[in-house]
């Protein structure tokens, strides 16, 4: 064989090898879909009393073709801080987004900036809620603040103004509009580049509104009630706070009925002439039906995305996630809303599909945190994680290859102190949960009172009491376990850098009550 032929064959081999390597190391497209408050109890794939009522055929499809995570948790269960952690990979004390009043600094390093810089096209459409102008996105079209359910206003780079100014109106229901705009961006993107699209729904946030097509859904149904719906006295369970009870929601509906301001769907509403039990039951039925109707529009639109991916040959090489920014009480303990470290509030539902790598129809029980999300996205995009990110990629976990070093406990802290929902911190393992209500505003903006509440502890055995119906903190049977958890909690605070933020007031209450 002459030298010229050998050279040609070598060049062909090298070219083929490079092409093969490129194909083997091709990074996936990323679609990150997130709703607001769409708690796991209402997904219908986590069991529970609403399983038969949830409209979830497309969520089910994702679960059947991907992996469902059973134990994903917020590190601060409130919208703005959770969204900031999902972008920055940091606890609240590091990214400085503690309460609803805080904003994410445009200059703060986030996962979108890193993925954009690596060559991905990036976009976010829908709910942003972080106040400052988004950074790291080639395209954004976002709701101002909470936005509205009907005929929403969306703001992009061309018509951006701070606050509730700027933007343009889009006709239709918000979930439909947000998905339509997401698919429009996918159509117009550069098809030669990988992409990351974040589609963020306003639903199912209060006022739990829904499109006309779901108006009559559940009208002949009586929805099952949680066992703790009639928990009127927190002292009976040993809970340390009253919480956001359903009567607060009923009063909001009553006032809106009088004012006819159109804020809530399905009015008028009143509980006139009803005793406390019947009034709460009536409030629960309207609340949970509205919530499930709002959620039905999310599932509809997830279906639009899945169909688009199938039709355009994108399914196999697209990593798609659906999650919520935190959990939500749906009548458990007689409450609505979130914020607390109890299971319904802190747990985030999460399903992920990537046919090229992730097995279908699987579930994992590993403790995953919202600060881990950006670490996972960076891993799939082939980007090293920056030192300031505090999460860990759970890519191996998704392939059923969890390492022995994976966390067996987590740290949580909620800052927006109120009399009925005190500021607190806590630790959770697969078996137990310990919560310390330190009850101080610490001078932070976005808290609801400067009045301190009495420090208190709660402890739950999650295996034997998964619904957290009985605070066992004073049960001598758990004395040694609680003592060990307190030590672990101190260590977690140190490891994550939160203990270093303690001022004199916080140090004093810890010293006196630990």
**d(Cα 456, Cα 239) in Å, to the nearest integer?**
9
Answer yes or no: are the C-beta atoms of 356 and 373 closer than 8 Å: no
Cβ-based neighbours of 67, under 8 Å, separated by 6 or more = 351, 352, 353, 358, 359, 360, 362, 363, 364, 398
Residue 12 has pLDDT above 90, yes or no: no
pLDDT in tens, 374-432: 999 999 999 999 999 999 999 999 999 999 999 999 999 999 999 999 999 999 999 99
Residue 110 has pLDDT above 60, yes or no: yes
Residue 14 has pLDDT above 60, yes or no: no
pLDDT at position 341 is: 98
Cβ-based neighbours of 197, under 8 Å, separated by 6 or more = 29, 30, 31, 32, 122, 123, 124, 125, 182, 185, 186
Percent with pLDDT over 70 in the chain:
95
Mean pLDDT of 439-457: 97
**d(Cα 233, Cα 230) in Å, to the nearest integer?**
9
Three-state secondary-structure class, residue 278? helix
Does an H or E element contain 252, and which? helix 246-259
The three-state DSSP-derived secondary structure of 388-439 is CCCCCCCHHHHCCCCCCCCCCEEEEEECCCCCCCCCEEEEEECCEEEEEECC
Residue 23 has pLDDT above 70, yes or no: no
Answer yes or no: are the C-beta atoms of 87 and 104 closer than 8 Å: yes
The three-state DSSP-derived secondary structure of 284-302 is HHHHHHHHHHHHHHHHHHH
pLDDT in tens, 480-507: 999 999 999 999 999 999 999 999 999 9
- Residue in the structure block whose two tokens are 């009870």: 245
* 223 or 22, higher pLDDT: 223
Q: Nearest CA to 350 among 378, 325, 377? A: 325
pLDDT at position 13 is: 45
Residue 259 has pLDDT above 90, yes or no: yes
Residue 225 has pLDDT above 80, yes or no: yes
Residue 16: is it exposed, middle or buried by C-beta count within 10 angstroms (0-12/13-18/19+)?
exposed
5 pLDDT tier (thresholds 50, 70, 90)? very low
Mean pLDDT of 272-277: 98
471 pLDDT tier (thresholds 50, 70, 90)? very high
**d(Cα 300, Cα 304) in Å, to the nearest integer?**
7
| Beta strands at 139-142 and 121-126: parallel, antiparallel or unpaired | parallel
pLDDT at position 265 is: 98
449-455 LR contacts (CB < 8 Å, sep 24+): 449/417, 449/418, 449/419, 451/419, 453/241, 453/417, 453/419, 453/422, 455/509, 455/512, 455/513
- Residue spans of the domains in the chain: they are 27-213+282-513
Angle at 141 between CA 190 and CA 85, to 5 degrees: 100
Q: What is the signed CA dihedral for 372, 375, 379, 383, rounded to 10 degrees?
A: 180
- Show the tokens assigned to 511: 């010293």
pLDDT at position 6 is: 45
8 pLDDT tier (thresholds 50, 70, 90)? very low
| Beta strands at 409-414 and 368-369: parallel, antiparallel or unpaired | unpaired
pLDDT in tens, 111-159: 999 999 999 999 999 999 999 999 999 999 999 999 999 999 999 999 9
pLDDT in tens, 34-59: 999 999 999 999 999 999 999 999 99
- Show the tokens assigned to 94: 């590091």
Mean pLDDT of 59-87: 98
Residue 10 has pLDDT above 50, yes or no: no
Q: Nearest CA to 338 among 330, 497, 449? A: 330
| Mean pLDDT taken over the chain | 95
Please give the distance of CA 448 from its chain centroid, rounded to a whole number.
23
Mean pLDDT of 327-339: 98
pLDDT at position 26 is: 81
Instruction: Give start and end residues of each alpha helix (H) in 312-389.
Output: 343-346, 373-381
* 27-213+282-513: in CATH 3.40.50.1860: no
């Amino acid at each position: 064989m002459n030298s010229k032929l050998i050279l040609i064959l070598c060049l062909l081999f090298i070219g083929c090898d490079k092409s093969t390597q490129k194909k083997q190391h091709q990074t996936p497209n990323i679609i990150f879909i997130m709703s607001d408050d769409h708690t796991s109890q209402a997904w219908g794939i986590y069991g529970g009393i609403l399983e038969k009522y949830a409209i979830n055929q497309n969520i089910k499809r994702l679960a059947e073709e991907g992996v469902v995570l059973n134990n994903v948790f917020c590190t601060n269960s409130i919208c703005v801080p959770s969204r900031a952690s999902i972008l920055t990979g940091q606890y609240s004390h590091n990214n400085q987004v503690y309460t609803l009043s805080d904003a994410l600094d445009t200059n703060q390093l986030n996962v979108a900036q890193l993925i954009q810089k690596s060559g991905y096209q990036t976009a976010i459409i829908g709910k942003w809620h972080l106040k400052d102008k988004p950074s790291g996105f080639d395209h954004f079209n976002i709701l101002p603040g909470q936005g509205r359910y009907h005929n929403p206003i969306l703001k992009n780079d061309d018509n951006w103004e701070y606050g509730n100014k700027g933007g343009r109106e889009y006709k239709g229901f918000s979930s439909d509009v947000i998905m339509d705009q997401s698919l429009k961006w996918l159509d117009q993107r550069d098809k030669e580049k990988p992409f990351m699209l974040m589609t963020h729904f306003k639903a199912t946030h209060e006022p739990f509104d829904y499109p006309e097509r779901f108006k009559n859904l559940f009208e002949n149904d009586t929805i099952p009630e949680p066992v703790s719906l009639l928990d009127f006295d927190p002292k009976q369970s040993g809970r340390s706070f009253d919480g956001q009870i359903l009567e607060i929601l009923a009063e909001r509906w009553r006032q809106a009925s009088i004012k006819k301001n159109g804020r809530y769907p399905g009015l008028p509403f009143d509980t006139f002439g009803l005793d406390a039990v019947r009034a709460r039951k009536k409030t629960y039925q309207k609340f949970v039906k509205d919530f499930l109707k709002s959620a039905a529009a999310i599932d509809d639109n997830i279906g639009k995305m899945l169909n688009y991916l199938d039709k355009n040959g994108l399914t196999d090489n697209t990593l798609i996630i659906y999650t919520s920014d935190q959990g939500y009480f749906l009548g458990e303990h007689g409450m609505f809303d979130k914020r607390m470290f109890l299971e319904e509030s802190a747990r985030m539902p999460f399903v992920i599909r990537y046919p090229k790598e992730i097995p279908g129809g699987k579930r994992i029980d590993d403790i995953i945190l919202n600060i881990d999300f950006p670490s996972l996205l960076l891993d799939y995009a082939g980007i090293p994680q920056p030192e300031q990110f505090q999460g860990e990629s759970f890519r191996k976990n998704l392939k059923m290859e969890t390492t022995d070093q994976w966390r067996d406990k987590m740290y949580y802290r909620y800052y927006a102190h109120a009399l009925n929902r005190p500021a607190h911190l806590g630790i959770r393992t697969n078996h137990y949960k310990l919560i310390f209500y330190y009850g101080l505003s610490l001078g932070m903006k976005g808290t609801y009172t400067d009045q301190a509440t009495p420090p208190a502890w709660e402890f739950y055995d999650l295996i034997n009491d998964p619904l957290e119906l009985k605070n066992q903190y004073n049960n001598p049977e758990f004395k040694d376990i609680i003592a060990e958890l307190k030590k672990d909690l101190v260590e977690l605070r140190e490891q994550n850098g939160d203990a270093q933020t303690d001022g004199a007031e916080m140090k004093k209450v810890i010293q006196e009550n630990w």
